Amino acid sequence: MSNGFQRVAVIGLGYIGLPTAAIIASRGIEVVGIDVSEHAVNTINQGKIHIVEPDLDMVVQAAVTTGKLKATLEAEPADVFIIAVPTPFKEGHTPDLSYIEAACKTIAPVLAKGNLVILESTSPVGATEKVANWLSEMRPDLTNPITNVNGSDLYIAHCPERVLPGRVLEELVSNDRIIGGISTACSEKALALYKTFVRGECLLTNARTAEMAKLTENAFRDVNIAFANELSIICDSLKINVWELISLANRHPRVNILSPGPGVGGHCIAVDPWFIVDSAPDEARIIRTAREINDGKPEYVKRQVKAAADEFKRPVIGCLGLAFKANIDDLRESPALAITRDLAAQGVGEILAVEPNIKQLPASVTEDVSLVSLSEAMERCNVIVVLVDHTEFKSMPLEVIKNKVVIDTRGII
C-alpha cells in the first residue's frame, strides 16, 4: 500500500533513519536515503549496515537487493522528505538545531509543489515552525503552511520517533504515532504516509503539542529513573539492598519503581528533558533536578570504585560494559564509558574494559584502558564494576567473582 507516495527520501541514516527507510522500502515504496557519511552510504548500498540493531541487516539487505532502497550523499527529488538527524544540545544545555537546518539546506533545492516534509528528530517546541520558516526562506517560490493555512505548496509536520533501541523494527510498526502538522492538511498528508507501515494508532495534533509530547515522554522516564537513582544512594547510606527494596515496594499494585544504574545515557533521555528546561527554565523544576540527579550518579559510582581500589596495593578494575544500556553497541552519552574513562584518567588502578558489542575502544578512552574478554577480566581483576546489564554478564557463574570486590550498579549479581 503506497497511498500515492512513489518516492520517499530519508535524511539521516542513523539509528532511526535507516530502519525507517528500510521499513518503508519493504512496503514497496522507492526510498532514497541521504547521509553525509560516505562510509554509511557505501555500507548501505552493499546491503549492509553500519550500526547494531537486531534484524536490521536482513531488512536492509532485502530492500537494497530488490532495488527499493539506495543511499546517496546528495538530495534527489521525492514526494516525502523525512528528516531524522540528531538534535544534541550545545553549551548550557540549549538545543542545537544545526543538523536540522543543514538537512533543510540539503533538501531545499529539490523540493517541489505538493511535497511533504516530516521532522522526526526530537525537537524543542517551535522547531517544526522553524523548519517551515527556513524552507520558506530557502525556497520563497513555494508557499508554506504557516502563512497559507488553507492550502500551501509544502506540507510540513512533526512526527516524533518513539522507538526503543534494540527493538526498533518491531516498535516502528507497532507503536502508536503522534502526528503534529503545521496545519490540519499537513497532519492528514503525514497520516497517509504513516498508514503505509504503522500498525499502531496514529494520533493527530498540532506540531507544538507533538514536539512537547515527545519531550514529555522522555522527561517522564528521566524523572522516574532519578527517583530510583536517588533511592539507591539513600539505601547505601542506610545499609539497605535497594534491589530488594524496589522489588518489595513494586508489589504494591500502584507502585512501579524503575531500576537504578550508573546514570542515564543515550542521546534521548539524557538530552531531551533539557529542551523543556531551556524553554521554561523557571517552571521546569522537577525535570531539571532529575537531570542533575542522573548526571550526578557517575560521580557517585567513581567514588565507590576508588574506595574499593584503595584497599589493594595494585588494583586491577574490571569495568563490565561501556554501552549506554544492555545489548547494544551505542556508546553515545554513556555513563559507563565516562566512568571507565575517568577512572583511567584519575589513575585509580589498571582498567580492563569488557564490552562484547564493540571491536575497538573509542578514541576518547584508548589511553590506559585495555579492551579485554570477560574471562580475561575475571582472571585478572580484583575489583569488578558492573556498568551495563548485558546478557553475557548476567550469565556469569558466581564462582568467578569470589574473592573480588563487586560494585554492581545494575543489580545483576
Contact mark string toward ligand SAJ, 199..238, x via CB under 6 A: ------------------xx--x---x-------------
Which burial class, exposed, middle or buried, applies to 140 when counting CB atoms under 10 A from its CB (0-12, 13-18, 19+)? exposed
Contact call for residues 275 and 95 (beta carbons, < 8 A): yes
Contact call for residues 70 and 33 (beta carbons, < 8 A): yes
- Is position 142 an interface residue for ligand SAJ (rule: CB under 6 A)? no
- Is position 265 an interface residue for ligand SAJ (rule: CB under 6 A)? yes
State the nearest-atom distance from the C-beta of 327 to ligand SAJ, in Å: 11
For residue 114, how many other CB atoms are within 10 A of its CB? 12
- Is position 269 an interface residue for ligand SAJ (rule: CB under 6 A)? yes
Q: Scan residues 73-102 and list those touching ligand SAJ (CB under 6 A).
A: none
Q: Scan residues 349-388 and list those touching ligand SAJ (CB under 6 A).
A: none
Contact mark string toward ligand SAJ, 152..171, x via CB under 6 A: ---------xxxxx------
Q: Could you tell me the three cell numbers for 32?
A: 532514497
Tell me which of 266, 315, 318, 321 binds ligand SAJ, using CB under 6 A: 266
- Is position 321 an interface residue for ligand SAJ (rule: CB under 6 A)? no
Select 122 or 183, whichever has its Cβ closest to ligand SAJ. Answer: 122
- Is position 318 an interface residue for ligand SAJ (rule: CB under 6 A)? no
Select 110 or 258, whichever has its Cβ closest to ligand SAJ. Answer: 258
- Taking alpha carbons only, the member of 291, 256, 296, 248 closest to residue 270 is 291
Contact call for residues 260 and 231 (beta carbons, < 8 A): yes
Select 95 or 145, whichever has its Cβ closest to ligand SAJ. Answer: 95
Q: Scan residues 108-127 and list those touching ligand SAJ (CB under 6 A).
A: 122
Positive or negative torsion for Cα 241, 247, 252, 256: positive
- Is position 258 an interface residue for ligand SAJ (rule: CB under 6 A)? yes
Tell me which of 302, 325, 341, 390 binds ligand SAJ, using CB under 6 A: 325
- The side-by-side arrangement of strands in the sheet containing 383-386 is 369-371, 350-354, 316-320, 383-386, 405-408
- Taking alpha carbons only, the member of 358, 379, 378, 361 closest to residue 370 is 361
State the nearest-atom distance from the C-beta of 47 to ligand SAJ, in Å: 26
> For residue 90, what are the β-bridge partners?
94
* End-to-end Cα separation, the chain, in angstroms: 49
Select 152 or 218, whichever has its Cβ closest to ligand SAJ. Answer: 218
Please give the Cα distance from 380 to 334 (Å, whole number).
25
- Is position 19 an interface residue for ligand SAJ (rule: CB under 6 A)? no
Footprint of ligand SAJ (CB under 6 A) = 122, 161-165, 217-218, 221, 225, 258-259, 261, 264-266, 268-269, 324-325
